[in-house]
């Protein structure tokens, strides 16, 4: 359990190689090396992303009034594979090595070959835990039958927001981000009063107290209100099918799908989504101050020429872009 605190500290994040995108608790994306000053002391989730390298994740405890350094050593993605995940019932949140990786049923690409730890979470059901060995240049499969929680001693909360992409905190502990059309499942919560807070750039924080009861599912559906004085930036939510694709904003790698970018400078931008074995998807878009933009890309398999006489067959990527503007 991550322990929150109201005191402050400093976190320095470096990466090897340098230049990776680093985030803290799913927000605050910066290019390493970076110093996060005056942050709440206690436990924080630190992630690092760099194209061609395995994503990095660690939980670090920031002492009150002190400074701690995280040096993330990134491993090259020289051997990769994919994972197809199904569940019965469907719609379970997927976590691979602690990273939210979409919901069932889906395929997650760009995974390092070798063993990975997988968790499936669905409100009203027991968490499914297991390991899977990802084969190089191939696909591993999980088809999980979820068990209804019998005689449960804990409860669950489903969290969604409009617009999506908000960071979610349970009792001031970061637990994930809201996604479009897929509520965030908070499972295994002890009975009692819990404080749920949602945070999204350019919107007022949303806070509500939820009474959790054993065996019960509570729903938090937050309609976020635009801040009185929004900054000159908007937010971006990027997803792809398959998931696990590298995302490049203005030629800089900013993470892997599904990805929430809470602060994007207003103006014109280019976006590239790239996954080994699939055709690249690229687009240009414009974002206004306070605007929430969603981009959903369905990636087609990379063209594998099939020569029939002089005929060559190939597949193309199809994408849909949804723009949500808060008036």
Inform me whether the pLDDT recorded for 297 exceeds 80: yes
Mean pLDDT for 281-307 is: 81
Print the domain residue range for 165.
155-223
Domain with 17 in it: what CATH number?
2.60.40.10
Which pLDDT belongs to residue 304?
Answer: 57
**What CA–CA distances, in Å, run from 148 to 126, 130, 131, 152?**
6, 17, 21, 9
Residue 201 maps to a domain:
yes
Residue 93 maps to a domain:
yes
pLDDT more than 70, % of the chain: 89
What dihedral angle (degrees, nearest 10) is formed by the CA atoms of 194, 122, 142, 174? Answer: -20
Which pLDDT belongs to residue 96?
Answer: 87
Residues 265 and 237 in one domain: yes
60-81 confidence digits (pLDDT tens): 888 888 899 999 988 877 788 8
- Residue 1's pLDDT band, with cuts at 50, 70 and 90, is very low
Residues 62 and 88 in one domain: no
* DSSP output for 30-66: EESSEEEEEEEEEEEEEEEE-TTB--EEEEEEE-TT-
Lowest mean pLDDT among 23-32, 158-167, 271-280, 313-322: 313-322
Q: Is the pTM of this model over 0.75?
A: no
> Strand order of the sheet with strand 106-112?
106-112, 80-88, 139-145
Please count the structural domains in the chain. 4
- Residue 261's pLDDT band, with cuts at 50, 70 and 90, is confident
- Residue 109's pLDDT band, with cuts at 50, 70 and 90, is confident
Residues 257, 271: contact at Cβ < 8 Å? no
- Gap between the Cα atoms of 22 and 46, Å rounded: 7
| Nearest of 312, 251, 240 to residue 278 by alpha carbon | 240
Inform me whether the pLDDT recorded for 324 exceeds 50: no
Residues 122 and 159 in one domain: no
Last residue of a domain, one of 123, 145, 167: 145
Inform me whether the pLDDT recorded for 148 exceeds 60: yes
- Gap between the Cα atoms of 242 and 279, Å rounded: 11
Residues 262, 174: contact at Cβ < 8 Å? no
CA within 13 Å, CB half, 65 = 0
> Strand order of the sheet with strand 173-177?
173-177, 167-170, 192-199, 206-212
- Residue 28's pLDDT band, with cuts at 50, 70 and 90, is low
Last residue of a domain, one of 145, 176, 200: 145
Which pLDDT belongs to residue 322?
Answer: 41
Which pLDDT belongs to residue 172?
Answer: 77
Last residue of a domain, one of 125, 145, 165: 145
Residue 208 maps to a domain:
yes
Residues 237 and 320 in one domain: yes
């Amino acid at each position: 359990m991550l322990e929150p605190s109201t005191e402050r500290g400093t976190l320095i994040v470096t990466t090897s190689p340098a230049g990776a995108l680093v985030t803290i608790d799913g927000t605050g994306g910066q290019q390493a090396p970076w110093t996060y000053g005056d942050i709440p002391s206690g436990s924080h989730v630190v992630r690092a992303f760099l194209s061609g390298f395995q994503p990095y994740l660690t939980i670090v405890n920031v002492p009150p009034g002190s400074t701690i350094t995280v040096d993330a050593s990134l491993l090259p993605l020289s051997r990769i594979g994919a994972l197809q995940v199904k569940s019965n019932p469907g719609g379970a949140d997927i976590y691979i090595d602690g990273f939210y990786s979409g919901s069932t049923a889906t395929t997650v690409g760009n995974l390092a070959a070798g063993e990975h730890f997988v968790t499936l979470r669905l409100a009203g059901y027991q968490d499914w835990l297991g390991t899977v060995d990802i084969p190089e240049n191939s696909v591993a499969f999980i088809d999980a039958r979820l068990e209804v929680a019998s005689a449960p001693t804990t409860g669950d909360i489903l969290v969604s927001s409009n617009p999506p992409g908000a960071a979610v905190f349970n009792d001031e502990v970061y637990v994930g981000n809201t996604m479009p059309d897929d509520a965030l499942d908070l499972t295994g919560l002890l009975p009692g009063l819990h404080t749920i807070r949602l945070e999204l750039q350019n919107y007022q924080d949303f806070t509500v107290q939820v009474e959790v009861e054993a065996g019960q599912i509570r729903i938090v559906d937050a309609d976020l209100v635009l801040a009185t004085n929004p900054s000159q930036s908007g937010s971006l939510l990027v997803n792809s099918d398959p998931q696990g694709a590298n995302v490049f904003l203005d030629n800089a790698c900013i993470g892997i799908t599904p990805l929430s970018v809470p602060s994007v400078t207003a103006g014109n931008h280019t976006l590239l989504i790239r996954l080994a074995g699939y055709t690249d998807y690229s687009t240009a878009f414009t974002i206004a101050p306070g605007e929430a933009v969603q981009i959903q890309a369905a990636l087609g398999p990379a063209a594998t020429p099939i020569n029939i006489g002089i005929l060559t067959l190939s597949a193309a990527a199809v994408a849909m872009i949804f723009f949500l503007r808060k008036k």
